[in-house]
Structure 1
């Protein structure tokens, strides 16, 4: 089993932990598991080192024994002194001491010893395998003899004719190999303990850092927090953005993606790379607290709140919430139009009361003919405006808006004129968007006309030509140059200079939403021309 497999079993599969350990914090569990991994690794390494050292020492002993055996077997003095223990014993002992082996035994082909470290064993039979050597082959083996278990080699002694005349065996006892092995294992154990203590210290430091970062919570708590966090992000309809101190988007929920029209993977991108309107981008990178600001995207009106998150004096980024204000803004615009129309009716009723009192007074003074002429003239003027608007514009929402705006303009001393070629049936476009476009354009035109040279006048032209709805509004005001026209549809632009203008920005948004275009021209004043497509309609 590899160390990687051991680490996986101990660290990844948390289900194998005891019940009490599962209740520990994540940092504490990781500390215990890492110490276990380090301990297993060090123990496994020490065991492997022991086995390798043992095999190396055995192999070294076998090689050394073989070399000594072959060297003695090839010595001419051995062949010359065969059978003479008095001559061979000193020679064998000298070789044993000089080479460091534990025994050198010279024997007859029948296995009777001529030499031995214990002179009492001379003349006795050799304990071990001799058959391969009698066949002329040198071999090694581990065998238990008179000196105990030993790693030995056996080689034949040949004469000039190549016949096997005797055998030589040299070897090193296993006990001596064990002494050397224990010396090496002691060093390995010291190194292992040093590695274990170093690993434990490192693991403790890692665990301390992890404890600070996880705030002492356990895996179950972290998992539950992630599940709640993920569920909330996907459940809330409002948009939520987290922007770090470098201006990069670190979190974006489903609501924010829909409201901002984000596509693909937005997390990790800088807010300037998201393709948002410049005003909204500037707000996200400003790093300032903002409350309930209105911002426009391509098709939506958003209420934006920004809260800067700080740790001490250090800014950690900003939390941004987005609410869709499009429908409410449209309804507000429509309500403003209805309120204006109601105010116009009240003003007209008040004016009618004044005129009625005038008529009654003329009657009481006996000037009945003058009273009839006065009443007829006033009725004819009011009726002509109503008949002209209702007759030319059969779109009820726009007709009501025009009547209301006419009365408002009249109160401010501005003549609101309907172009003679205005002719409009029910065109099937969204009434709220049409109110937003026409109402705001007329309001801005009236403001411009009031500030211009008298007589103040606003002209409105509505017409459906083929598959295009044409809406034009011009005024007698001072007009605007090309640079001003480009800025006019930006959020916050206004002739008042207070930075709170929203009307023309909403006009541009509504036109884009309906797939149309808007042009700004000049002349005596400003001329706004809106073209909206009438898809799937055959309009004469």
Structure 2
């Protein structure tokens, strides 16, 4: 047993091939044996039909009955039966009287003796066959009655073939059956060898237990990994893990390419950390080709990894607004230092009244904006964003106006968008407006207003704006680059704005009226 285990192949391909060889060998051997048995059975059946036909033909011949009735049966019929026997190759043809007395026989010395065998059915007028051991040995024989013109039975005809001859006939087919069996076995082994090579390539020579462990680990990793994973093939989607189904809101069961978002339906390997925006998520997507063991890439097959950046993107938006405010405060601190030096110098020069006027002029303007926003806007994050963007616009030489219509309910629970959503929508729209405004006359106008039924956010700028087709394309784009113009500049920002608006079943539209105007409307539900 130990030797058998040592000789037994370890790889899956080897074990599969050995089992196939054993099965093929058993099938070929069984097929050959069945073919031999079938040949023997067919030979016996053919022999019975042959002797039955010969016996019936001789018994029905009128000359046979006439020779028996004339008393010249041996003289006339012996040459005839021997000629027929020699021509057909059977063992004997015996014509006899109803009392078994032989008229003819292969061995002339047996003529006149009693026939050995069954004749009862023939005496009753029946033609039959049987296996019987006579003077020549075991044989298959047929017996038929001979009738005269009146129908009376005047004799019997027995024709037989030795079983030894039958055995010789079907044994002669052994070489052909053996040759066919060997040929089938050889062809099967060639096919098995080809299958073995293919299995070795596909399984890399791994043993069944190694493949099982690999599958178990693979399945466990797919279900536990925190990134979405999709394997795409030419025929469709080969694999989708649980996280990918969650991030892309895919249905349970098999997934088709039509079920995937538009940005995953086309073959596009080589993408790294590309940002895409769905209706409710911001996703980072990377795609790579699937390689063969030899290093060749599989055409049309690729692995897609997906990471969720939704919460991070919101945090980055809030952080960006705080950074803008921080930069603005730093700049104002620098300007305040310059202003303070100027005021001190004016006091030293004895011009105290001019120093007071200079010190309070800009402070009143800035404080007025702070006081107005603090009174009109209850959301502190939005106030910080507007103040920061106002300072940032001033540094860039852009006139940013926050209209007098800007007002939000005092109770933040009544707001139709959360503070983070407000920052996402308004921050991206203002950034896009400052990037797109006309540099010869740079201005941006912002309105944020909510009543009992509707929230309106409107951002206008002095730029050329976008037509409806370009605006729709910009909202669908899943990435952002500042190197281009037009829709590329608004790719991620407008996509994030559209995501928030769609989540609340609002509307987002662009018009070119007194400037390029983008309007967000969200109604109470």
Structures share fold, TM-score greater than 0.5: yes
The answer to whether the Cα contact below 8 Å between 1:72 and 1:78 also exists between their aligned partners in 2 is no
3-state SS, counterpart of residue 166 of structure 1: strand
Residue 508 (structure 1) aligned with residue 498 (structure 2)? yes
- Determine if contact 2:248/2:260 at 8 Å carries over to the other structure: no
Q: Which residue is equivalent to 2:138? A: 149
Segment drifting more, 42-51 vs 148-157: 42-51
1:392 is aligned to 376
Q: Aligned ranges for residues 64-143 of structure 1 at < 5 Å?
A: 64-74=50-60, 75-82=64-71, 89-143=78-132
SS of the counterpart of 1:142?
strand
Instruction: Find the counterpart in structure 1 of residue 419 from structure 2.
Output: 431
Q: Is 1:441 aligned to 2:425, yes or no?
A: no
C-alpha deviation, 1:152, in angstroms: 0.8
Tell me which residue corresponds to 2:204: 215
Q: Judge conservation of contact 2:408–2:451 (CA < 8 Å) in 1.
A: no
**2:367 matched to 1:383?**
yes
| Counterpart contact for 1:243–1:250, Cα < 8 Å | yes
CA offsets 1:408-467 (integer angstroms, 9 cap, x no match): 2333344433222222022052322221111122223334457242xx543221111333
1:24 to 10, 19, 44: 10
Per-residue CA deviation, residues 69-116 of structure 1 (Å, 9 max, x unaligned), is 233334134323558756654554344334432112233323233433
| RMSD between superposed Cα atoms in Å | 3.3
- Figure out how many residues of one structure are paired with residues of the other and give that number: 507
| Alignment correspondent of 1:302 | 283
> How do residues 257-406 of structure 1 correspond to structure 2 at under 5 angstroms?
257-263=245-251, 269=257, 273=258, 276-277=261-262, 285-287=267-269, 289-309=270-290, 314-316=296-298, 317-356=301-340, 374-406=358-390
Change (3 A) 1:500 1:295: farther
Please give the secondary structure, in 2, of the residue aligned with 1:285: coil
Tell me, yes or no, if structure 1 residue 183 matches structure 2 residue 172: yes
Which stretches in structure 2 are left out of the alignment for 5+ residues? Answer: none
Inter-partner Cα distance in structure 1 for 2:42 and 2:189: 31
Give yes or no for the alignment of 1:50 onto 2:36. yes
Q: 1:207–1:249: structure 2 CA closer, same or farther, 3 Å change rule?
A: same
Per-residue CA shift, 1:289-328, capped at 9, x if unaligned?
3432333333322222233455678542433322112211
Gaps of 5+ in 1: 1-17, 536-540
Contact 2:65–2:146 (8 Å) recurs in 1: no
Deviation of 1:248 after TM superposition, in Å, equals: 5.5
Contact 1:250 1:268 in 2 (8 A): no
Give me the whole-angstrom Cα distance separating, in 1, the residues matched to 2:132 and 2:502. Answer: 98
- Measured after TM superposition, the shift of residue 390 of structure 1 is 0.9
| Cα offset, 1:171, TM superposition | 0.8
Quickly say closer, same or farther: Cα 1:532–1:137, change in 2 above 3 A. Answer: same
Distance in 2, Cα, partners of 1:360 & 1:405 = 30
Aligned mates of 1:355, 1:516 — CA distance in 2: 46
Q: TM-score, normalised by structure 2?
A: 0.85
Between the aligned partners of 1:60 and 1:485, the Cα distance in structure 2 is 90
CA offset digits 1:236-283 (Å, max 9, x no partner) = 221223345x695444333333334445777664xxx566355x66xx
Which sits farther off after the overlay, 440-449 or 172-181?
A: 440-449
- Mapped to 2, the partners of 1:332 and 1:507 lie a distance apart of 14
Q: Deviations over 1:391-424 (max 9, x none)?
A: 1111222122222222323333444332222220
Contact 1:151 1:171 in 2 (8 A): yes
Q: Distance in 2 between matches of 1:318 and 1:133?
A: 85
Taking a change above 3 Å as real, the CA distance of residues 460 and 94 of structure 1, as seen in their structure-2 partners, is closer
Deviation per CA, 1:166-191: give whole Å up to 9, x if none.
Answer: 33211111111111111123322222
Cα 1:407–1:130 change in 2 (3 A) is: same
Is 1:469 paired with 2:455? yes
| Structure 2 SS opposite 1:181 | helix
Say if 2:23 is the partner of 1:34.
no
